[in-house]
Amino acid sequence: MPSNDVRILLQAAVPTAVAGALAAVVSGVVAGGKGAVGAVVATLVVILFMGLGLYILQRTAKSLPHLFQAMGLMLYATQILLLFVFLAAFKNTTLFHPRAFAFTLVAGTLAWIAAQTRAHMKSKILYVEPEKSGHSS
């Protein structure tokens, strides 16, 4: 993974993990141990889904740049759909507090999207590949 991609991944994952840690503390206070577990599981799900999506999107940009925008839209729609599937699947679980899980899942997703947007806007990515030096026209 090129350094720009790793930088954007870290700049999105770290704030999401911080938001998840805060959600785990709040959920632990409000809903007890199961609330904290739900928040941690939700944070891990968000980081895994969104990180995998970013990786797939970056690979698409390198190999099929003409499909980048369509792939990005499809990828985000798929991620949101899968997050709703997770919410529905764990709605009545007894493994952790489902409401803490749901709120943390939504908050973590919003934190990831905001952090990724900020990281992308601050990065200086070339839109045109410069020609190699020594290549004459």
* Percent of the chain residues past pLDDT 70, beyond the cut: 86
**In angstroms, rounded to a whole number, what is the distance separating the alpha carbons of residues 96 and 41?**
9
**pLDDT value of residue 45:** 93
Q: Say whether pLDDT at 2 is over 70.
A: no
Dihedral of the alpha carbons of 62, 66, 69, 75, in degrees to the nearest 10 = -60
Say what the pTM is.
0.78
**pLDDT value of residue 41:** 93
Average pLDDT over residues 130-137: 61
135 falls in which pLDDT band (50, 70, 90)?
A: low
116 falls in which pLDDT band (50, 70, 90)?
A: confident
Q: Is 94 left (phi over 0), alpha (psi -120 to 50) or beta?
A: alpha
Is the pLDDT higher at 100 or at 127? 100
Report which of 103, 90, 87 is spatially closest to residue 30, judged by C-alpha positions.
103
pLDDT in tens, 16-65: 999 999 999 999 999 999 999 999 999 999 999 889 988 888 888 788 87
**In angstroms, rounded to a whole number, what is the distance separating the alpha carbons of residues 105 and 101?**
6
Average pLDDT over residues 92-99: 86
Q: Say whether pLDDT at 125 is over 80.
A: no
Average pLDDT over residues 108-134: 78
Q: Say whether pLDDT at 130 is over 80.
A: no
